């Protein structure tokens, strides 16, 4: 039986098991989706004037709207549309940032079918304009988070019909950047963006 | 009686009136909203790899979704939310662009109540991060379009309770940039952004 909180989030049963001492895992964010974690992180960055990054709203095709008197308009019929861009973008230290956030339950690789073609095309176009593009990948079973520069994604994406349809985790560990959960902000990905910026300037 | 084309656009009755020779007005875009014109312009820029600018989807609060078998999910109840950002953003020549598009039927000024406080706050935050922020204002009665740098908007916005609640058109003409309608693209606003960029580099 699944019990949900009133807000719809899954209820996580508290256990009395001792946390393992060998693995450093932040339990504070348990039950949060990667999207929620990144939204919280972006809010932190915005409130402190560090960066202005927002998640884009879900694109919706509205078919029918009701305008009742004395109350808000109600959308009565609408459909989800496929996004033509990535989920997040914004500005940081004069740089344009553009990224996706993806979670996988896989243990040894990241399946490329997590992307739509137009998301990849969008990242390629942004990169060409001088934007900084990447994907934040979370291996949810181990709560490991990596920032993977878009070039790595493109490399595997472009060969996906010839070779494998996923990026090995070992490559992500090697060519990507591990992000340690922190408290403030939860996912300090801009530290890694700083590194990417300094590499560009070389 | 209003007749609409099958695509929902208003039917514009053709008239045999001679176009005035003294005013150079492009009649090709009549009946298009400023939003449609800018979307077309951005599509032109994207398709040619000139810039990657998108309009953000309308933010919606989804309350109830139906998942019928063998067909797409239908949103049955949803509400419009207020956007926390501007409508357009993207990347051009490594620069982050962020802007609003506003139409007015006023003849002599642009009323500041066309903006929400959070749109202004968002533009201020983006500008502080080194983004290029502006508003494209259309005086719809005369089909005149201006790019107005965000600083002009801020100046009048911050004094709106002490002084006037609108920006005089004369100021927009002086401190803003008139954009001539073209065919390709319809509203070549990036020419003016080029000018803003060159001014920054001085």
Q: What is the pLDDT of residues B24-60, one digit of tens each?
A: 444 445 568 999 999 999 999 999 999 999 999 999 9
State pLDDT tens for residues A6-27.
444 444 444 444 444 444 444 4
CATH number at residue B113: 3.40.1350.10
Q: What does the alpha-carbon distance between residue A98 and residue B126 come to, in Å, rounded to a whole number?
A: 15
State pLDDT tens for residues B142-188.
999 999 999 999 999 999 999 899 999 999 999 999 999 999 999 99
Residue B140 lies in a domain: yes
Q: Which domain holds residue A162?
A: 39-55+84-200
Question: How far B16 CA sits from the closest chain A CA (Å)?
Answer: 37
pLDDT at B30: 58
Residue A193 lies in a domain: yes
pLDDT at A30: 58
Q: Complex ipTM, two decimals? A: 0.83
Question: How far A17 CA sits from the closest chain B CA (Å)?
Answer: 37
User: Quick check: helix, strand or coil at residue B155?
Assistant: helix
Query: What integer is the mean pLDDT of B119-130?
Result: 97
Q: What does the alpha-carbon distance between residue B20 and residue A45 come to, in Å, rounded to a whole number?
A: 54
Residue A14 lies in a domain: no
pLDDT at B120: 97
Residue A75 lies in a domain: no
Q: Which residue in A has a C-alpha nearest to residue B71's C-alpha? A: A79
Q: Is B5 a residue whose pLDDT tops 60?
A: no
Residue A131 lies in a domain: yes
Domain count for chain A:
1
Residue B93 lies in a domain: yes
User: Which one has a higher pLDDT value, B8 or B149?
Assistant: B149
* Low-confidence spans in chain A with pLDDT less than 50: 1-28
Q: Would you place residue B200 in the very low, low, confident or very high pLDDT band (cuts 50, 70, 90)?
A: confident
Q: With an 8 Å Cβ cutoff, is B25 touching chain A?
A: no
Interchain proximity B58–A60, CB inside 8 Å: yes
Give yes or no for a contact between A96 and B130, defined as CB atoms under 8 angstroms apart.
no
Task: Name residues 79-138 of chain B within 8 A of A (Cβ).
Answer: 79-80, 83-85, 89-96, 98, 122, 125-126, 128-131
Q: With an 8 Å Cβ cutoff, is B75 touching chain A?
A: yes
Give yes or no for a contact between A60 and B58, defined as CB atoms under 8 angstroms apart.
yes
pLDDT at A19: 42
Q: What does the alpha-carbon distance between residue B18 and residue B12 come to, in Å, rounded to a whole number?
A: 16
Residue A173 lies in a domain: yes
Other C-beta atoms closer than 10 Å to the C-beta of B27 total 10
Interchain proximity A91–B79, CB inside 8 Å: no
pLDDT at A69: 86
Residue A141 lies in a domain: yes
Residues of A in contact with B60 (CB under 8 A): 57-58, 60, 75, 78
pLDDT cut 90: percent of chain B above it: 78
Q: Is B197 a residue whose pLDDT tops 50?
A: yes
Block residue for tokens 């662009």: B97
Interchain proximity A75–B72, CB inside 8 Å: no
Interchain proximity B57–A52, CB inside 8 Å: no
Q: What does the alpha-carbon distance between residue A130 and residue A132 come to, in Å, rounded to a whole number?
A: 7
User: Measuring CA to CA, which residue among A74, A60, A78 is closest to residue B74?
Assistant: A78
pLDDT at B20: 41
């Amino acid at each position: 039986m699944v019990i949900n909180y009133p807000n719809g989030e899954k209820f996580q049963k508290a256990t009395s098991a001792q946390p393992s001492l060998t693995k450093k895992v932040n339990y504070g964010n348990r039950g949060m989706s990667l999207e929620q974690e990144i939204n919280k992180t972006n809010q932190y960055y915005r409130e402190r004037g560090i960066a202005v990054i927002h998640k884009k709203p879900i694109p919706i095709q509205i078919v029918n709207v009701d305008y009742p008197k004395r109350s808000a308009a109600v959308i009565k019929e609408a459909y989800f549309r496929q996004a033509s861009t990535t989920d997040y973008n914004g500005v940081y230290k004069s740089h344009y940032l553009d990224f996706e956030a993806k979670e996988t339950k896989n243990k040894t690789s990241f399946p490329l079918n997590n992307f739509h073609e137009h998301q990849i095309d969008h990242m390629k176009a942004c990169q060409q304009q001088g934007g900084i593009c990447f994907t934040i990948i979370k291996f949810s079973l181990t709560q490991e988070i990596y920032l993977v520069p878009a070039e790595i994604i493109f490399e595997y994406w472009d060969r996906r019909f010839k070779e494998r349809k996923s990026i090995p985790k070992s490559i992500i560990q090697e060519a990507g950047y591990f992000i340690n959960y922190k408290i403030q902000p939860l996912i300090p990905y801009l530290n890694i963006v700083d590194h990417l910026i300094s590499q560009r300037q070389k």
